[in-house]
Amino acid sequence: VALHFLQASTVRCLLEPWCRELGFIICYGAIVLKLYRHLVEFRTRKAHRWVVRDLDLLRYLCAMIVAVLCYLAAFTATSLDFLQYSELVWQMDQPQSMDAEQVASNMCRPLRWDYVTEAGELLILGFGLQLAIASRNANTQFRERQFLVASILIEFLVSSTFYILRFWYLEEFNPSTLFLALFVRSQLTNTVTLGLIFLPKLWYQHKQ
């Protein structure tokens, strides 16, 4: 959202997916891996049970980040090819102009590539919810699993609603409305997620 305070340009339109997707995979990828560890520890009943170490989780997360980097590199290369024929800054029709002038909307042009990215995000979140259901009976310290599940569920519901509304009503939204929607979505997902992850731990440490 902070990038939207800058004037729309080709550089900003190329940076937006990098900031969004890297932040998404680092945050929610880590949450999904934590749920995966809870599931493994809950289902292992042997004397020498398999424990997923923090180093293992870090390796898995690095692999996910590398995959996203490759995906974003492909997106950037495709966008640079697209620039040969058009531009990434979204030009909107001026509704009050008799000659239908084009004005810059300070937004980036919506691309079909965005739909693929959004579907990938929802698939990752859906996989996290599946892990949450599978480990629903696991006991964790200071109810960590419940807060992790809540953060994924909120992101899934808010983002899916935002994507659906933007898909159907994009042409009817003005730039100010889109910016407000992005800001509200950011607060409902990122801010709430950070609170759900860190506040219970701080409260638990305070009670000790």
Q: Whole-model pTM?
A: 0.84
Q: How far is CA 46 from the centre of its chain?
A: 37
| pLDDT above 60: residue 75 | yes
User: Average pLDDT, stretch 78-88?
Assistant: 73
| pLDDT above 50: residue 103 | no
| Residue 92 pLDDT level (bands cut at 50, 70, 90) | low
Please, are residues 147 and 200 in contact by the beta-carbon 8 Å criterion? yes
| pLDDT above 70: residue 147 | yes
User: Other CB atoms closer than 10 Å to residue 30's CB: what's the count?
Assistant: 17
165 vs 140, residue with greater confidence: 165
CA Rg value for the chain: 20
- Sign of the Cα torsion 121, 107, 180, 186 reads positive
Give the alpha-carbon dihedral of 4, 8, 13, 19, to 10 degrees: -20
CA–CA distance, 182 with 203 (Å, rounded to integer): 30
193 vs 107, residue with greater confidence: 193
Instruction: Tell me the DSSP string of the chain.
Output: -GGGGSPP-HHHHHHHHHHHHHHHHHHHHHHHHHHHHHHHHHH--STT-----HHHHHHHHHHHHHHHHHHHHHHHHHHHHHTTTS-SEEEEE-TT-TT--EEEEEEEPP-HHHHHHHHHHHHHHHHHHHHHHHTTT---GGGHHHHHHHHHHHHHHHHHHHHHHHHHHGGG--HHHHHHHHHHHHIIIIIHHHHHHHHHHHHHHHH-
Provide the residue ranges of all domains of the chain, joining segments of one domain with +: 10-94+109-207
Percent residues over pLDDT 90 in the chain = 43
| Amino acid letter, 196 | L
Q: How far is CA 19 from the centre of its chain?
A: 10
pLDDT on residue 192: 93
| pLDDT above 60: residue 86 | yes
- Look up residue 43 and give its two tokens: 């289902």
- Mean pLDDT, rounded, of the chain: 83
Least confident of 30-39, 86-95, 97-106, 165-174: 97-106
